[in-house]
Structure 1
Amino acid sequence: MRVNIWLKRSYYGVISVMAVFIILLVGLSLFVHGYLLNDEETESLMGLHFIYGFSALTLILLIFGALGARKEKMWALIVFAVGMILICLYLIAGEIAYLVLKPQLEAAMMSRYYIMLPLANATESELANLKYKQAELQCCGVENYTDWEGIIPDSCLCDEKSTNPCMNAPNENQTEVAIYAKPCLPIIIEVDMQFLHAAKGIQVGLILLWVLSIGLCVGVLCQINKKLETPTVVYSSEAKAGNYTYLTEAPDSCPT
């Protein structure tokens, strides 16, 4: 009794999609890692290290799962199923923690920018990051343009092509300049939360894909287990030596 070919193909297809996703994730992480090498902060790099570990573990489990289905080895499929179940539980716990700790997460993001104030005491990397976001998001200052204490950078200046509202403000030489009217902190928090929502949505899709792979793996395991329990048919030469009679004669009497 062989494992159903369509079940195997479905299983191979799902784990192949998972492998492609993991490889793309590693490639993207390497690109971001190279971009952040000159960054003084290490928080993002720690997150990338977690992605590397997660990707490596998943790829190892996928190899076990593929070999287990190919060779019909129950132990390899069990390792795959148990590992994927643990990963799913971790991802689900992360989703629950995100929903519970969402207000605290927003507060932590805000405090990261509050500690930059006053901007005269901020580091060069913090100022460069804020100036980049001012030009990108069309905003000025953390809470207000006055955070710059009269020395308004060029990233705050708006022109006719600006999509966000502008306002006039005094610069260091007491001349009026047109700057972005909105502060940056609310916009940054909104953008970061949208990014997190998208990331968590992708994570939900991963959980569903992981669960599907576990279900197909269990199906393959069940069919292999049935195959192992099938009794072996033993050929015996004595089967040909049996005495057989043909029922060609009519019975002597019929029951009344």
Structure 2
Amino acid sequence: MAGVNPCLKKTFTIFNVFFAIIGGLIIGFTLLCQVLTSANGSELEGRTYSVIALYVMGVITMAIALLGACGAHKENKACLIVFLVCMVIGSLLMLRTGVPVAVARPRIEGMMEERFQQLLPLDKASEDVKDMADSLQTHLQCCGLFSYQDWEQDIPVSCQCNEEEEMEGQCHTVTNYKDFMLKSRSIFVKPCFPILMHFILMVVDIMIGVVFTLAALALLGMILSSVIIHQMRYPTSPPMMVTVPAIFASGPPKYQELYNHP
């Protein structure tokens, strides 16, 4: 790759190293989210597909970065062309994914609230919904989706506080009928929906940031790889040796004027 600027080649290699680091961070972040959601017992619909999609995105990002780095290091035009095609496709996919999500982001909370409202009252919901609510209440230390009244008169054990949580001010006392008896119970003050939405919106914001960052990197990769391929196809001509015509060269005159000496 004699015609490629060495500085451009080094910049492209550094770019691919950074691109590979981004892919590794995506995989690490996905693994962390999977561990945390599994520990919290969250089995929300679509979580598995999202995790798989992020893993695939991270692996593909690292593979493309490795392809570009090898193409620059080994001076392989075929690898660089494949890299350029991947960058074009990747940038279009990232924009196709990121723009609709960014536009829909302000409506996510309203859509989720409407969907969860359909599950109420919780004491009359299906067993799967009750299990999900119990898991959320146990791990997020909350009661009900929007209020403890979502359970009507059948507040589950997962809403109850212990003495330590009562001392921290996380609980309040409610009175309800249970087995035809009036009972006072200490339950969590906070509902689960705001806490859940906080984590959901945080994940959405991170995903939007990742998608647009990858789109910007893909655009930069397109520019760098295009310039390198162009320089490989049309290498810079070696410097020409400019010779001075003999007419302008300094030297002895071709003739001497004759003088008549007396």
TM over 0.5: yes
Q: What displacement does 1:97 show?
A: 0.6
Partners in 2 of 1:61 and 1:134 — Cα distance?
43
Q: Which amino acid aligns with 1:178?
A: S
Q: Percent identity?
A: 27
**Pairing partner for 2:204 from 192, 196, 202:** 196
Q: Say whether the 8 Å CA contact 1:40–1:125 is kept in structure 2.
A: no
Partners in 1 of 2:31 and 2:203 — Cα distance?
19
**Partner of 2:6 in structure 1?**
5
Q: Summarize the Cα distance change of 1:27–1:191 in structure 2 as closer, same or farther, 3 Å threshold.
A: closer
Q: Say whether the 8 Å CA contact 1:110–1:189 is kept in structure 2.
A: no
Q: Which moved more, 1:81-90 or 1:187-196?
A: 187-196
Partners in 2 of 1:198 and 1:54 — Cα distance?
14
**Partner of 2:61 in structure 1?**
58
1:230 equivalenced with 2:237 (yes/no) = yes
Deviations, residues 99-151 of structure 1 (Å, cap 9, x unaligned): 32234433332244233323234444433332333344443212221222323
* TM-score normalised according to structure 1 size: 0.74
Q: Which amino acid aligns with 1:89?
A: L
1:69 equivalenced with 2:69 (yes/no) = no
Q: Say whether the 8 Å CA contact 1:26–1:55 is kept in structure 2.
A: yes
1:160 equivalenced with 2:166 (yes/no) = yes
1:80 equivalenced with 2:83 (yes/no) = yes
Partners in 1 of 2:128 and 2:167 — Cα distance?
28
Q: Summarize the Cα distance change of 1:59–1:190 in structure 2 as closer, same or farther, 3 Å threshold.
A: closer
| Secondary structure, aligned partner of 1:101 | helix
Partners in 2 of 1:201 and 1:44 — Cα distance?
19
Deviations, residues 70-97 of structure 1 (Å, cap 9, x unaligned): 2323332122122112212221232221
What is the aligned-residue RMSD (CA, Å)? 3.5
| Secondary structure, aligned partner of 1:139 | coil
* TM-score normalised according to structure 2 size: 0.72
**Pairing partner for 1:97 from 90, 96, 100:** 100
Partners in 2 of 1:5 and 1:154 — Cα distance?
68
